[in-house]
Chain A
Amino acid sequence: MEPKITLSKHPKIDTGFTVPEDYFDHFPDQVFKKIPVTTVKVVPFKRNNRLWYFVAASFVVGLTLLPYYWWEQNTLQEVDSSTIENYLAYQAMVSEDEIVNFLDENDLEKMKIDLDISNNDLEKILEETPNIEQYLID
């Protein structure tokens, strides 16, 4: 009959497990291969320096020109005197007499109405004007 085994008194019973040859020599590399490598991409500042300067300069120039461009688009184009006169003449609220009040010496110069009016013609026009005295007072 085999003696009873008492674990505390019996020589330690090993597991019986073995490992492949050189397992522990190669194991670390197996793990290191699987470690996620986080590399920070280093972008040399010098290489892109010129590019960034160009971008920055373009931006500044663009910002500067934009208001000027907008202003130019929205500025009223100078309209010639005849157009203004005709426009005003068609406005029912404005009489031709009132139009005359808006014209100055420069405007009259610009009109350059080439009329050959004799003194007799002029006198006739004045006689036909009902409010001639009022004009003289004004």
Chain B
Amino acid sequence: MEKEKDLIERLSNPKTQEVAFKELVRTYQKVLYYHIRNIALNHDDSDDILQNTFLKVFEKLSEFNGDSKLYSWLYRIATNEARNYILKKARRNGDTYENFQTKIAGNLVADSYFDGDELQLKLQKAISLLPERQQLIFKMKYFEELKYEEIADILGVSVGGLKSNYHLAVKKIEEFINKH
């Protein structure tokens, strides 16, 4: 907490901002990458989105007033960047978000940066069939192991709503995996 507070202070100071920002990138690049990757599924898109995310973070540094935790703010920007990127791609293909995600999940087997087994592939396909919001909640809870309170803070939803969405998602995924 103190470390984050110190980083925020240095990010707010124009004299120390550049060095602090470099530290921010190095500290959060991995966790934000995998968050983005869970949404975008392929590496190249995730790389683009991650860069865009940090550029946006830099652009909006002056707007961060410390009301929320730093990582919540970063996650929020990353989530929006990823979602908008995928939505744009889906629309260009004349697809809905979910249909597009299902297609990408189906192509994972040919992706050079996916070395998962059959079960992992089935899981990704099952997730891609969920509604967009449920997909995100499941991934953040199951893959990224975030607490409900953290997810609620990032997505701006209630913990109760998150729990019911997660349990519904789990049920649908188990049905799909056990059927296919």
- Identify the A interface with B (CB < 8 A): 4-8, 12-20, 23-24, 27-28, 30-32, 34-35
CB distance from B84 to the nearest CB of A (A): 18
> A interface, by DSSP: helix, strand, loop or mixed?
loop
Instruction: Please tell me if the beta carbons of B34 and A7 are within 8 angstroms of each other in the complex.
Output: no
Chain B residue numbers with a CB within 8 Å of A24 are 29-30, 33
Is B174 interfacial (CB-CB < 8 Å)?
yes
Residues of B within 8 A of A (CB): 18, 21-22, 25-26, 29-30, 33-34, 37-38, 41, 43, 47, 50-51, 54-55, 58, 108, 113-117, 119-121, 123-124, 142-143, 170, 173-174, 177-178
B54 A16 Cβ-Cβ under 8 A: no
Name the B residues within 8 Å of A19 (CB-CB). Answer: 33, 43, 113
The reply to whether B54 and A31 form a contact with Cβ atoms under 8 Å apart is yes
Measured in the bound complex, the distance between the Cα atoms of B89 and A94 in whole Å is: 100
Q: Given A24-B29, A27-B50, A32-B22, are A16 and B114 neighbors across the interface (CB < 8 Å)? A: yes
Flag if B124 contacts A15 (CB, 8 Å): yes
B37 engages A17 (CB within 8 Å): yes
Find B116's partner among A7, A16, A32 (CB 8 Å cutoff). A16
